[in-house]
Structure 1
C-alpha cells in the first residue's frame, strides 16, 4: 500500500462536505462483517445492508474492495486499483452505492442503470427521464426529489472532483468489471465463519 493512498484517504476524511450524500458514510472500524477480509481498513460504507469499501494494506496493493454481506459468495469484489480511482468511479456514477450495484448487473442493463441512477442522484430537468428512472428501478410513487438535495449532491461531487482532480471514467461499467476479473480473491484471508461457508 502506498503513502499516496494514505494521503488521499486523509484528504477525503477532511473534506468539508457531507459524504453521506453520495453514499460514502464514515468508516467504522469495529463494523467488520464475516466477509470483511482480515487486515482490511474500512474506507467507508453506503449505509445499508452492511455494504462497505475497504483496502487491505497487508496485500501491498492499493486495491479497493466492495464488501457485500447480504449478497452472494464471494461477497468481496475488487472495484478500483486505488482510492483515487474509486473516487473517480463515485464521481462518474453519482454515488458509492452504484459501484457495488454495477458488480452484478447484466451488461445490457448497465447503460440504462447508469443514466437513470445519475438522474436520481444528481437530478434531471426532464420529468420524463425521472419517470423512466422510477420505472426502471421499480420505484412506486414518482415524485421530485426533496428541494436542494440534488444541488447538495452535485456540490459534494464537485468538491471531490476539484480536490482530487477527478475525471469521469468513460465506460465505468467495463472498467469496474475489468478490475473485478483481474484479481484472484484467494489472495485474501477471511474469518473462520467465512471459510466454513
Structure 2
C-alpha cells in the first residue's frame, strides 16, 4: 500500500470515526437521559402496555437487528465478498476516493471500490446498533423497566463498540487482492 493511499485511508477513517463517535454520543446521551427520567420520577412508572408483552416484542426486534449486524459482518464484509461486489458494473467512486483513481490500475481501482462499499455497509451496521438502543428506549417508555432497558442498551453499545472503524479491514482486503 503506497503512502498516498494510506494517507487518504487515514483521512477517511478519521471521518468515519467522527460519525461513529456521534452515534456513540447519541446512544450514551439517550441512556443517561432515560436513567435520569426514571430516577427523577419524571416519567410515569405505570406501564402503557403489559411489561412482558413489550419485553417480548423488544427482544424479538433487538435480536433481529443484532442478527442482521452479524449477517452483514460475516457474509458481506469479508474481503472476498467486497472484491466480488466491487467488480460489478455501476459502482462509481465518491469525491474522497475519485482523485486516487485517476492513475490507478485495475487492482487499485477494485480496492478503492471495496473501501467505498465497506464504508457504506459500516454505516448500516452503526445505524442498526443505534436502532437497538432506540428500540430499548421505546420499550422503556412503554413499560418502564429500567433493568431491561440497561441490558438492551448495553447490547447496542457493544454492537457499536466492536465495530469501531480501524485500518485492519482495509489492509486485509489489500493483502487479499494483491496476493
Q: Same fold (TM over 0.5)?
A: no
Shorter-chain TM band: under 0.3
Bigger radius of gyration among the two: 2
Normalized per residue, the structure richer in strand is: 1
TM-score by length of 2: 0.27
Higher relative contact order (CA 8 A, sep 6+): 2
